[in-house]
Chains A and B, each alone.
Chain A
Amino acid sequence: MAQYAHPEVLVETEWLASHLHDGGIRIVEVDVDTGAYDLGHIPGALAWAWTTQLCDTVKRDILPKEQLEALLSKSGIAPDTTIILYGDSNNWFAAWALWQLKIYGHKDVRLLNGGRKKWLAEGRELTEEVPSYPATNYKAQEPDLSLRAFLPEVLEAVKKGGVSMIDVRSPQEFTGEILAPPGLPETCQRGGHIPGARNVPWGKACNDDGTFKSLEELKALYGAEGVDEKNPVISYCRIGERSSHTWFVLKYLLGLQNVTNYDGSWTEWGNLVGVPVERGAARAVSA
């Protein structure tokens, strides 16, 4: 872990198990399956539901600043609190929460390496008890939009090139064989990918136990698809959460400076009128 560019953004299960009751930290579970928390969770952990608490529920957007402040205040979190996020599916939606917390300038937010899966696999303590913490009056910073890519930037990148576009969906979504992950509702009119994008499914960054692969493995994985320090990187998926996981890997584990998450992702691009779409396998990596 120490080899990563920013090893401080991860904590290990063993460390967390011995620091559950430390002051100054708040553990939060964010799952794909928002009911998993109720089955049993890490003692002291709260839960945030991505479907209702980590997005604007009226317009399509990330959590508005005022709502983020309310959520953190209700969670007893202050600007100097160390937030430790974990979740199912290799921290998929925990990374989504982390990305938003970084946009709003929370200084110390970390992922539990291996997430809920590793905690369960190790037979560690679980509880059904929902904790209560004194509310705070959290004030977030103005959003740092340098972490986020919007449609005009993506259109410009496609037009001018010079940007590594990483599509982190499954190969079948990338080629256009399917319009949504198997078993989930279709949310786009067209299948395929943004022209020039490379396909690196998000889960390839993880080991079987849910932990992140080593620095060298990650360098090889993304380097083979043309990702390096020379060009800006934009990651995208279907609705922007899988790509927030890849954004985390590229920014904090590999240490890339210019990497953004296009959370509009394929549900935006694949529904637009007139934008170019590629189908089938990716083009060869240019030298």
Chain B
Amino acid sequence: MGQPGRRAGGTGRGSGGVGVTNETEQSTAGSSGGFSERQVELNGWPVRLTSYRVGNKFVCQADNVSPGACLARFSASTAEEAEAQAISKARHLLGKTKRRDV
């Protein structure tokens, strides 16, 4: 039984409908480490970059701060590579957002 329905029917990773892209390398999870957050601006929008390590994977997630929806998440063998990929994807998605006069 395990994880109900997660892997059946294509509902597994990256299917959140929020532009999440992921690369995962084989690793053995243990404790997490190196958790950090920082904000950058991409295409005029604030973006929070959350980085952490799980086993030998470095993960970086980019979200749009308000509301905090995940725009991109990558894992890679280095923190720099994961962050660069997440920034690239987030920048692409944010470039599609239109501001309107109120």
Contact = CB atoms under 8 A, between A and B. Distances in A.
Interface of A: 31-40, 46-53, 71, 74-76, 88-90, 92, 117, 119-121, 123-128, 130-135, 169-172, 175-184, 186, 191, 201-203, 237, 242, 279-280
B45 A182 contact: yes
B97 A182 contact: yes
Contacts of A180: 97
B66 A201 contact: yes
B61 interface: yes
Given A130-B3, A176-B100, A203 B32 contact: no
Contacts of A131: 2-3
Contacts of A135: 1
Given A36-B73, A182-B97, A52 B66 contact: no
A51 B17 contact: yes
Given A39-B59, A71-B5, A202 B29 contact: no
Contact of A53 (B2, B4, B61, B73): B4
Given A39-B75, A47-B6, A125 B96 contact: no
17 contacts: A33-B61, A34-B15, A35-B13, A39-B57, A46-B3, A71-B4, A74-B1, A89-B68, A120-B32, A125-B30, A133-B1, A134-B1, A177-B100, A179-B100, A183-B90, A184-B64, A186-B98
A124 B5 CA distance: 26
B4 A89 contact: no
B88 interface: no
Contacts of A124: 31-32
B73 to A, nearest CB: 6
B28 A128 contact: yes
B87 interface: no
A48 B4 contact: yes
Contacts of B52: 120
B57 A74 contact: no
